[in-house]
Amino acid sequence: MRPAGLRPAWLASGVLAVLVAVIAGLAFGSVSLPPGGVAVELLNLIPGVRLDSGLTERDVAILTQLRLPRVVLGLLVGAMLALAGAAYQGAFRNPLADPHLLGVAAGAGLGVTAVIVLRPAADATAGLPIGVPAAAFAGGLIAVTLTWVLGAAGGRDRSPAALVLAGVAVSAFLSAVQTYLLQRHVESLREVYSWLLGRLATAGWHDVLVVLPYTVVTAAIVLAQRRQLDVLTVGDEEASSLGLHPRRSRYVLIVAASLGTAAAVSVSGLIGFVGIIVPHTLRLLSGPGHRSLVPLSLLFGAAFLTLTDLLARVAGGAAEIPIGVVTAFLGAPFFVLVLRTSRSAPT
């Protein structure tokens, strides 16, 4: 049976979710702005459009200089983490595959930590270096490769439990290396610790511009490969008989998903469970076909993390809650549910 394509109603719902998340993320915070005025001011960003939003110059400055870069960064990071989760789950045929659980986030985190602690002191206040996503990508790709190899130790079958346990082991090892680096460079401890908890605060558009090329490349590759993900779910032998090269397609997807995860981690820190919550919720609501799941994960992942970041900003009052804490609070029970249901599901 041919997998269903992307339904217009679901696509419209995803776009609407992104728009609602953007307006909410821009309107609410320590200073509340009228949502209608925010929407009009966004239209004013279009060349040639000039409407009266009713916002003061101070409100416009808060909107465009402080909140808009953060919201755009949240959209990019959420889209990448959810898209990577959907890609990993399809490529590994494993419902528990997630950037955080496979050790990819830990590997990317180690790469970022190494750049932070080893960079010259003169660059400490220069913002995110251009090479940080590349270091994160290298660390994430090494981590997912180790997890994939260890998950097959003792046999060719990679069960969900074996893959998760391998990811835990790889994460623990990489975290130990990261701890060693921090002990050798205690002057960077506060900066790295703040980054590890997950945050989307930016000093402007710098982080957005750094991560944007990686996001575009990852999204283009995974979206182009979403039909292959549907074929991979039937097994390698069947996929080969249908004319697909399973190993090559899997490698392309893993590299692309690792690139997106690394870019997201490099600017946001370790934000877990987005790659499990969003794709699995969409599977329950819209169906398992990747031709629709992949683009919907992109849209709803962007909306989910933007709204989660808003919750992190307003729930803690003056002291902002790290977004990684919020996603872990939401994701841990969800992971338990997925773990229970996956025992009876084919992998």
- Cβ(133)–Cβ(254) below 8 Å: no
Mean predicted lDDT score pLDDT of the chain: 85
DSSP string, 189-240: HHHHHHHHT-----SSSHHHHHHHHHHHHHHHHHHHTHHHHHHHTT-HHHHH
As separate numbers, helices (DSSP H) first and strands (DSSP E) second, the chain gives 15, 0
Residue 248 in this model has a pLDDT that exceeds 80: yes
As a whole number of angstroms, the distance between CA 229 and CA 226 comes to 5
Is 145 within a domain?
Answer: yes
Q: Please tell me the predicted confidence (pLDDT) of residue 296.
A: 96
The pLDDT tens digits for 19-60 are 999 999 999 988 899 999 999 999 999 988 888 889 999 999
Q: Please tell me the predicted confidence (pLDDT) of residue 219.
A: 95
Q: Please tell me the predicted confidence (pLDDT) of residue 347.
A: 43
Q: What is the mean pLDDT of residues 273-286?
A: 91
Is 46 within a domain?
Answer: no
The pLDDT tens digits for 98-136 are 888 788 888 988 988 888 888 765 455 455 555 677 888
* pLDDT bracket for residue 71 (50, 70, 90): very high
Cβ-proximal residues to 231 (8 Å cutoff; 6+ apart), any chain: 239, 242, 244, 249
Residue 346 in this model has a pLDDT that exceeds 60: no
Is 304 within a domain?
Answer: yes
Is 21 within a domain?
Answer: no
**DSSP secondary structure letter of residue 204:** S
- Whole-prediction pTM value? 0.87
Is 9 within a domain?
Answer: no
Q: Please tell me the predicted confidence (pLDDT) of residue 116.
A: 81
| Number of domains comprising the chain | 1
The pLDDT tens digits for 175-215 are 999 989 888 888 777 777 777 777 787 667 888 888 899 89
Is 112 within a domain?
Answer: yes
166 token code pair: 């391998």
Q: 191: domain CATH number?
A: 1.10.3470.10
* pLDDT bracket for residue 80 (50, 70, 90): very high
Q: What is the mean pLDDT of residues 279-301?
A: 92
Residue 301 in this model has a pLDDT that exceeds 90: yes
Side chain identity, residue 295: P
Could you tell me how far CA 89 lies from the centroid of its own chain?
Answer: 14
The pLDDT tens digits for 138-177 are 888 899 889 888 877 755 555 666 777 888 899 999 999 9
As a whole number of angstroms, the distance between CA 186 and CA 168 comes to 26
Q: Which helix (H) or strand (E) holds 25?
A: helix 8-27
Is 295 within a domain?
Answer: yes
Domain range for residue 289? 69-342
Torsion sign, CA atoms 202, 205, 207, 211: positive
As a whole number of angstroms, the distance between CA 114 and CA 140 comes to 13
DSSP string, 16-56: HHHHHHHHHHHH-SSS---HHHHHHHHHTTSTT--------
Q: Please tell me the predicted confidence (pLDDT) of residue 308.
A: 95
- Cβ(67)–Cβ(42) below 8 Å: no
Q: Please tell me the predicted confidence (pLDDT) of residue 128.
A: 52
Is 31 within a domain?
Answer: no
Residue 345 in this model has a pLDDT that exceeds 70: no
